[in-house]
Amino acid sequence: MFNIILTLNGDYTSYVKWDQKFEYNEILREYGIILISAFNDSVNVMDNYKCSWMCAGKRDVNLEELKEKLDKNIRDLLKTHPELKEFTLDKIEIQ
């Protein structure tokens, strides 16, 4: 077991919409990562907000590549849902 820590900035409500779509789970599976649980604190605006995903599986992944794929997934969501406000994934860490 290990944690993936996401550092995000921007609109929390839009982040929750992305999180609820759960499409990123397929991206994690491509890397051999299985999401067990996600931990979020409710905030209005994310300012270096840390979200923690408890995971199992492959731990030694290319974090830059994973970040690029998750970034693309976020941008695709924002393009197709103009009612959402912008948020960014700024950093990924594994602990």
Positive or negative: CA dihedral 31, 68, 92, 13: negative
Rounded Cα distance between 26 and 94, Å, is 18
pTM score of the predicted model: 0.91
Establish how many alpha carbons lie within 13 A of residue 91's alpha carbon, considering only the half-sphere containing its beta carbon.
8
User: What's the mean pLDDT when you consider all of the chain?
Assistant: 95
- Give residue-wise pLDDT tens across range 25-47: 999 999 999 999 998 888 988 99
Bridge partners for 9 per DSSP? 88
